[in-house]
Structure 1
Amino acid sequence: MPPASTWQPLEEVRAYAVSGSTGIDLYRSIGERGPAAGVGQAVAVTTFKLTWTRDYRPQPDGACVLAVAKPRLIITYTLPRAPKNLTSAVAESWQRFIDGVEKHERVHGTQIIDMVRGIETFSRGLKEENDPKCTKVRQTLQARLKQFSDERVAQSRAFDQVELTEGGAVHRLILALANGP
């Protein structure tokens, strides 16, 4: 197999506007305008779009090899954006809050990147014997893709559980913003 091609994810940050002049007002606005997540609204979300360039190659002996598996990954972080006319105390409180929220979301981004790298490693060179139409190798890949996805979702949920429950990093950020100036 030729060496795997290098790739980098594309990352973009999208903002949604919130309003208010105090920390609690800003947080209430997040609750009203935040992106949908699960059963309610979230402060921020990380989403991704993943597509692949794959080259399945039937072999002379009847096997099939997945010779190329190159991802194209776009990660989108959706974060709140506060008004520009905040007092300095509220602006400082907001900056601490948004820096912490972005740090949290970027962990989700890293989890996604790790999943894609795992898929790439598993995929490239995947071979099935007696597979001249490359159907078995596709089935093997599809079965494992669900496992990769399920593992990432579980990892993401476990991380959120720690961060969002009482005493967690994001929980503390929310309390500091809401109880601040």
Structure 2
Amino acid sequence: MKPTYRLLAVLLVAISALPAAAQDWQPTEKIDHYNVNGTTPMALYQSIGERGPKLSLGRVIAHTTFKLTWQRDYQQQGAACVLATAKPRLIITYTLPKPAQKLAPDVAAKWKAFYDGIVEHEKLHGEFMRDLTQQIQDVSIGLRDENDPGCKKVRAALQAQLKPISDAHVARHSEYDRVEMSPGGAVHQLILSFLNP
């Protein structure tokens, strides 16, 4: 059976410039569940199709979103400006299905294997988001212009650095989903294993 629902990563980035310090950071991870009805694998899967998160391309099994904001300390040093620190605040949210009814032991075991596989897939999207954040921090700290009163040049230089990083990040997510959800891919196999007797 060919799967009709896909996992998608929704990339929500908000970047703000606020004074701060400290380079050490840890993301905050959240899990939001949505209820699915049914007591058989097929009924549960059909409920996912009816109740799963609705994105631009339709309903999906699960998805990962993130919000990324920054506290940045631009320091004027005479005529020069340096971006001394850049501290991220990354919130990753995983939206995942959860059965609304108690399942028989055999169905519960199949659900657990299916759910655990979906979580593993989504967690890697979360790792990609951590990587993105670290890459942005790496190109931010120490960015300097020797003739930049008001720090306008350094801010513009940072924005120029962010686009290729963001583009590569989006491409990485897309390629990961393409491989995982193609016939024979890990997500495709999860769905088949869940639905087949």
TM-score, normalised with respect to structure 2: 0.86
Alignment correspondent of 2:110: 93
Q: 1:27 aligns with which of 33, 38, 45?
A: 45
* 1:76 lines up with 2:93 in the alignment: yes
Q: Is the 8 A contact 1:52 1:70 kept in 2?
A: yes
Query: 1:8-157 to 2 correspondence within 5 Å?
Result: 8-60=26-78, 62-157=79-174
CA offset at residue 179 of structure 1?
2.0
TM-score, normalised with respect to structure 1: 0.94
* Amino acid across the alignment from 1:137: V
Q: Deviations over 1:114-151 (max 9, x none)?
A: 00001001101111221111111111111221222111
How far apart, in 2, do the equivalents of 1:167 and 1:81 lie?
25
* Amino acid across the alignment from 1:75: I
Q: Deviations over 1:10-60 (max 9, x none)?
A: 001110000111101111111111112341111100000111000111111
Q: Is the 8 A contact 2:39 2:101 kept in 1?
A: no
Structure 1 residue runs of 4+, over 4 Å off? none
Q: Alignment partner of 1:27: what SS?
A: helix
Q: Could you tell me the percent identity over the aligned residues?
A: 53
CA-atom RMSD in angstroms? 1.3
Unaligned runs of 5+ residues in structure 1 are none
How many residues matched? 177
* Amino acid across the alignment from 2:75: R
Unaligned runs of 5+ residues in structure 2 are 1-20
Which structure features the higher share of helix residues? 1
